[in-house]
Chains A and B, each alone.
Chain A
């Protein structure tokens, strides 16, 4: 075997060419990681929104909370169901919710308007949704025109500070608290009391009912019981599955784009790598001849040049990871077209993604190096030495 030091030294010998190729591969890897981190972050925000222990009930056929509508009778039927868990005060853990979208001007550019979710909740919601925590201030008091604002909205929209007043639905609402929800889509919402929102928005109708399951394993039973109940026409979804499904459309678009764009890029980069290696080998033909005269077998030469190509690509991969790392945590926002609401989420660069990026780089290197390495291995010693 030709010692790997040989390849490392020859890589260092041609710093400009190595750097350019590695940089090219690095950019491809960075885009690959960046785009998947975007899709990842979006999915994660919505996947974390729901809990396995909760059930969302919507009107039958409604594919989002926006298109659903449930009367008070339905809420009392659900609250009385034996599948609903009860809290410490013996009341059922149910949150009948009003869900509307309101246009809200953004801080940095007030001509840009985003559709923000306003959710009217019951006082039980803080127990039903265990991942929601008030980070600052006091929960809205019942019967008052007060709201709690999700932490992701605070930076991006004006008048969301505690004690400030938001105007929507033809009324003024005092912001009394901020809440976080473990990075989920709830953090892009404004919460207030459902009974306060009902008369202002859509009248005597709720959009969804969320409740905590008494026995998390008994979801199927609960679903069957609710959907078969003749007194109402509803669909029951596991909350986690419901929000994951809301992320499907845009999540798939983002992943699809990531794969197509980086796929085309990768082909271009591999072509470039092939060319670089061919040129490298052509200029080093005498060297290869010497190696062979010394008794190294063609297979060793092949492996050696493959390794060299892989080394260059791996350097590129590491560069790519370094380029992509600062993206982690950057907050961006877009409209989730499944629910038509704006949602803020952060890029999520996970260790798995970084490893995938490195593997991707090495694969590009090996693919790009194979044919040139084969040519190197097949060189005739006499010809090469000239």
Chain B
């Protein structure tokens, strides 16, 4: 440890250069962590829900509703322990610039099937009793400055008119993939206002045995195969995954870009670190003359490179890990539950170690193999 002071002194010699090197490593790893988290978050969303819940849609496509009468028939099937239904509403608030999901659900059964939606019992009861009530995710409170008990008016885009709801409850999702920027209101009220059309956008069935999911899904679809609206049933996970794949190649492009970014900055940084090490040829020769062993000099140069890379890693990765929760980032609603995972942090640290090797190995080997006599000729 007695050589630590030497390393610190070397790093402090060109303070500006050291700071800039650390900062560019930090920026590279910050970007790396951010871009990788986009991919992992999308993947995590696709994993949500598990196989315990089945989602039934109209086979013709997402935009076509199913008859409300299907509910009882699905509910009566063996292994189905609970059933709820919902309909996409697609209302806008204010100028509509800030998009948020809003849909009508059969409240009591929906909340029973989704224990991930957590709110105080009194708010839940108030919502269940209030036909024109709504519950919202916590984020909407800050996003629009709404308050509990307030009336909010949405403009329907699919179902025209002004729709006013009372905010009876504010929920916090225990699973981030549920989304905390959603407004949920009563399907019964919705159905009444659209003239008792008797439609449901999708059904959610709770089943007792996840391993039977494919068989149950198939028997639901078989039941409606020859009806006016054939269905397509899958686990909720498949349903969510289909949304994640809708980004198409764009998420693949993001990860490619992430790699290019990291590579570019690390290239430049490694170059700068190698150049500054080359300047010290004379010094290293002097150290060798006073008795520093080759091995020790190798280690000293490597430690210096490692100190730069790892300080940068701590700043960049730590910054990403702390910043996103602090600003409650969710990618404007597109990336619910955005988190920098531990695996991302570990990968980032590995990248930093790789940088240390790439930038330190050449100068360190040069230092260790430096012929003293030749090197000293350059020293006055």
Contacts and interface: CB of A to CB of B under 8 A. Distances in A.
A271 B257 contact: no
B257 A31 contact: yes
Given A20-B270, A272-B269, A253 B332 contact: yes
A123 interface: no
A100 B20 contact: no
B72 to A, nearest CB: 23
A334 B264 contact: no
B158 interface: yes
Interface string A249-270: 1000100010001001101110
Interface in B243-291: 245-250, 253-254, 257, 260-261, 263-265, 267-276, 278-279
B61 A264 contact: no
A60 B245 CA distance: 32
B60 to A, nearest CB: 6
Given A27-B264, A279-B279, A334 B96 contact: no
Given A24-B268, A27-B267, A265-B265, A61 B246 contact: no
A62 interface: yes
B64 interface: yes
A264 B25 CA distance: 11
B31 A265 contact: yes
Interface string A353-386: 0000000000000000000000000000000001
Given A31-B257, A59-B160, A100-B63, A265 B275 contact: no
A173 to B, nearest CB: 13
A275 interface: yes
A291 interface: no
A15 to B, nearest CB: 12
B179 to A, nearest CB: 15
Contact-residue size bin, chain B (C-beta under 8 Å from the other chain): 35 or more
Interface in A55-80: 59-64, 66-67
Interface string B1-28: 0000000000000101100110110011
B21 A30 contact: no
A275 B248 contact: no
B267 A20 contact: yes
B27 A267 contact: yes
Interface residues of A, number: 64
Contact of A24 (B63, B155, B267): B267
B61 A272 contact: no
B67 interface: no
B298 interface: no
Nearest to B162: A61
Interface stretch (A107-115, A134-142, A158-166): A107-115
- The interface centre, meaning the residue of A62, A233, A268, A282 with most chain B CB atoms within 10 A of its CB, is A268
Contacts of A60: 160
Interface in A308-358: 332-335, 337, 340, 342
A87 interface: no
A28 interface: yes
A38 interface: yes
Contacts of A21: 268, 271
B268 A276 contact: yes
A44 interface: no
Contacts of B267: 20, 23-24, 27, 272
- The interface centre, meaning the residue of A265, A273, A275 with most chain B CB atoms within 10 A of its CB, is A275
A226 interface: no
A346 to B, nearest CB: 12
Contacts of B260: 27, 30-31
A276 B242 contact: no
Contacts of A20: 267-268, 270-271
Nearest to B99: A249
A269 to B, nearest CB: 6
B62 A101 contact: yes
A63 B97 CA distance: 11
A257 to B, nearest CB: 8
Contacts of A103: 61-62, 232
B230 interface: yes
B30 interface: yes
A139 B283 CA distance: 81
B265 A268 contact: yes
* CB-CB nearest 5 A-B residue pairs: A272-B268, A275-B272, A27-B264, A24-B268, A279-B275
26 contacts: A17-B275, A20-B268, A20-B270, A24-B264, A25-B264, A25-B268, A26-B264, A27-B263, A31-B257, A67-B158, A102-B60, A115-B61, A168-B60, A264-B30, A265-B27, A265-B31, A268-B27, A268-B264, A272-B265, A275-B21, A275-B24, A275-B276, A276-B268, A280-B275, A333-B249, A334-B248
Given A67-B90, A261-B31, 7 more contacts: A20-B268, A21-B268, A23-B264, A31-B260, A170-B60, A332-B250, A335-B247
Interface of B: 14, 16-17, 20-21, 23-24, 27-28, 30-31, 35, 60-64, 90, 92, 96, 99, 155-158, 160, 230, 232, 242, 245-250, 253-254, 257, 260-261, 263-265, 267-276, 278-279, 332, 334, 380
